[in-house]
Amino acid sequence: MIRTEQSRHKYETSRRYLAGGVASSLRSAMKPSPLFAASGSGPRLRDVDGNEYIDYLLAYGPLILGHAHPAITARVIEAMERGITYGIQHDGEIELARRLTELLPCADQVALSGSGTEAVMLALRLARAYTGKRKVVRFHGHYHGWSDAIFTAFPSSDMRASAPTSDAAVSPGTGGQSTAALEDIILLPWNDAEALERALRAHREEIAAVISEPVMCNNGCMLPKAGYLEQMRRLTEELGIVMILDEVITGFRLGLGGAHGKLGIQPDLITIGKALGGGVAISAVAGRRELMSLIEDGTVSHLGTLNGNGVATAAALATIDVLASDDGAAYATMEHTARLLVDGLRELLAKHEIPGVINQAGPVFNLMFTDEPIVEDFATFTKKDAAKYSRFAELMLAEGVLVRSNGLWYISAVHTEREVNDTLRAADRVLADL
């Protein structure tokens, strides 16, 4: 059994100086209290009490190469010695943009930003400027950052907002949010082809963009039904609507070409972040030249003091180099490790007669306790036993395994069979007592 007295003490101290005691509201959901890190190495994290954890949180997704990967560390130190940021252009920006346009099938050009939220803000602005229309279609259970323009109620077990009251309701994601911004959102169920077509045809003169996760990673890790994204692409092209795929999670996690490359979909724009920087803050919008050129001609402003800074571009280039080496062998490694872990967890659910479903998309999966045999839409996902899983996550932490309390697990390129075996032994003990 682990002891976390120092983390609890530091959390109480932090609350005196840092609003909420954490730097991102999501982190306060950890039970029994938020952990404080001391260091991380590879797939393992150590806290200030000296406990070591196998890490499947991976900083909510960015650490695709694990903690303190030597290739990223070396490149970042080298960049910092030359100067952290310049406020003028440098070769790292050109090289990263070139690599992204080579790797991402939809990318004629890219624009660099600092976070996924910022990338989505820019993508929506480009879509509105390009079409001259205002409204945006988004989907229940998807997350596109916390800006007023797109943040609706997000009923995840580790976020505070409540569920919408109906399929059509667009509820604020936070207090203090502009309700005027929400008037431009049309909220639909995902994976429902008929609902999508009805809405797009009914509001074709108003809709600037459809924004969607290509795989619904934020809630349930659900794959698109066969033909669903293809229909989204066909309809948006026919009706003059910009198709945006939010690949902040899936970009560089599911493959060098992102989920759209893996699934064979050609959107107008994508947003990427998280894994792109390997743990350093960076994001990008990539897409068709016709839209991206609106930045160059001055129609759309794209601003940010630290956009494309030397440290961030160095980290991204190092991450891409590692992921691309040996013909992308890191992805085969992650797929293998994830498959071993998912298969083992499914066997344990059966052994302990606990009903549950695991949805997997490569090196990311969602484990949920539910009586439903299949979970492929958000309405079904909300029937899961969130309280039971939260307790499972808390007990796994006590066993030295760090997982997110909403069921989402990330695998890095440096997780091995040792971590898998240790995790399964811990899960066996926890499920026996759950």
pLDDT per residue as tens digits for the range 268-320? 999 999 999 999 999 999 999 999 999 999 999 999 999 999 999 999 999 99
* Average per-residue pLDDT for the chain: 94
Give CA separation, 305 vs 79, 89, 164, 172, in Å.
18, 12, 36, 29
Residues 79 and 314: their CA atoms lie apart, in Å, by: 7
pLDDT on residue 32: 81
Q: Token pair 């006590």 is at which residue?
A: 398
CA 370 from centre of chain: 23
Element (H, E) at 291: helix 289-296
pLDDT per residue as tens digits for the range 117-176? 999 999 999 999 999 999 999 999 999 988 888 888 665 555 544 444 444 568 877 788
The neighbour count for residue 151, using CB atoms within 10 Å, is: 22
Residues 426 and 401: their CA atoms lie apart, in Å, by: 8
Assigned token pair, 200: 């797009």
Residues 90 and 397: their CA atoms lie apart, in Å, by: 43
Instruction: Name which of 317, 312, 311, 283 is nearest 71 in CA terms.
Output: 317
Averaged pLDDT for residues 322-326: 98
Q: Token pair 């079409």 is at which residue?
A: 131
Judge residue 351's burial from the number of C-beta atoms within 10 Å of its C-beta, 0-12 exposed, 13-18 middle, 19 or more buried. Answer: exposed
**Among positive and negative, which fits the CA dihedral 392, 397, 400, 402?**
positive
Which of 26-40, 198-212, 239-253, 394-408 bottoms out in mean pLDDT, i.e. has the lowest? Answer: 26-40
pLDDT on residue 248: 98
Residues 224 and 191: their CA atoms lie apart, in Å, by: 6
Residues 338 and 355: their CA atoms lie apart, in Å, by: 20
pLDDT per residue as tens digits for the range 25-78? 777 777 788 899 999 999 999 999 999 999 999 999 999 999 999 999 999 999
Residues 207 and 184: their CA atoms lie apart, in Å, by: 9
Averaged pLDDT for residues 380-407: 95
Are the C-beta atoms of 106 and 267 separated by less than 8 Å?
A: yes
The neighbour count for residue 398, using CB atoms within 10 Å, is: 16
Averaged pLDDT for residues 391-415: 97
Residues 288 and 270: their CA atoms lie apart, in Å, by: 10
Beta-strand pair 185-188/135-139 = parallel
Residues 183 and 332: their CA atoms lie apart, in Å, by: 44
pLDDT on residue 162: 44
Beta-strand pair 269-272/283-287 = antiparallel
Give CA separation, 36 vs 13, 17, 22, 42, 407, in Å.
12, 15, 10, 18, 21
More confident residue, 159 or 24: 24
**Does pLDDT of 393 surpass 80?**
yes
Instruction: Name which of 332, 375, 100, 337 is nearest 216 in CA terms.
Output: 375
More confident residue, 157 or 398: 398
Domains identified in the chain and CATH numbers: 5-68+329-433 (3.90.1150.10), 70-321 (3.40.640.10)
pLDDT on residue 164: 44
Residue 23's pLDDT band (cuts 50, 70, 90): confident
pLDDT on residue 22: 84
